[in-house]
């Protein structure tokens, strides 16, 4: 039989995860439904449709710039790519916003796994590694421009055959 000191509780699990996330250099807050990442001067979240996020993630991975991606339990599926905002270019942000993507900045709160929203659990599509490096916003913007071009879709078709 387990005693109360060894049985993990939801609070203990959330506290442990908050410590892990904080070790990544992130500001993390508890809420009534789980954990939230607070964006700030060096970190933002770029929310986009899952299919576009997959293409952007492939592009960033090939260029060794892929970072953590959060999967939201929405219909249709949406992902949040975490990115570094240090030295961010106004053109990069404009490109991202011009494509209709949502940029969470300046104190916005992003749900972190294992937060449970009304539509289901928040999950990692790509979980943070022990030595986390976020892709710069400029790289995400470049990836967006690349995957939005007709050449990207032609290259994807050629790879599939």
**pLDDT tens digits for 120-138?**
999 999 999 866 789 999 9
* Torsion angle of C-alpha atoms 125, 131, 134, 136, degrees rounded to 10: -150
Percent of all residues in the chain with a pLDDT value above 70, rounded to a whole number: 88
Is there a contact between 143 and 59 (Cβ–Cβ < 8 Å)? yes
The per-residue pLDDT for 149 is 85
**pLDDT tens digits for 78-114?**
999 999 997 777 889 899 999 999 999 989 999 999 9
Examine the pLDDT at 36 and tell me if it is beyond 70: yes
> First CA to last CA across the chain, in angstroms?
57
**pLDDT tens digits for 1-23?**
455 556 678 788 888 999 999 98
Two structure tokens written together for 57: 């993630």
């Amino acid at each position: 039989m387990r005693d109360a000191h060894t049985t993990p509780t939801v609070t203990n699990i959330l506290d442990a995860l908050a410590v892990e996330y904080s070790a990544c250099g992130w500001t993390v807050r508890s809420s009534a439904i789980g954990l939230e990442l607070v964006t700030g001067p060096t970190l933002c979240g770029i929310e986009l449709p899952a299919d576009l996020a997959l293409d952007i993630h492939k592009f960033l991975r090939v260029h060794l710039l892929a970072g953590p991606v959060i999967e939201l339990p929405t219909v249709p599926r949406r992902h949040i790519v975490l990115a570094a905002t240090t030295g961010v270019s106004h053109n990069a942000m404009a490109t991202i916003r011009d494509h209709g993507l949502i940029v969470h900045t300046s104190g916005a709160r992003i749900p972190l796994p294992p937060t449970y929203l009304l539509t289901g659990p928040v999950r990692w599509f790509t979980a943070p590694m022990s030595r986390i490096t976020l892709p710069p916003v400029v790289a995400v913007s470049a990836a967006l421009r690349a995957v939005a071009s007709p050449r990207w879709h032609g290259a994807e078709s050629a790879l599939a055959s």
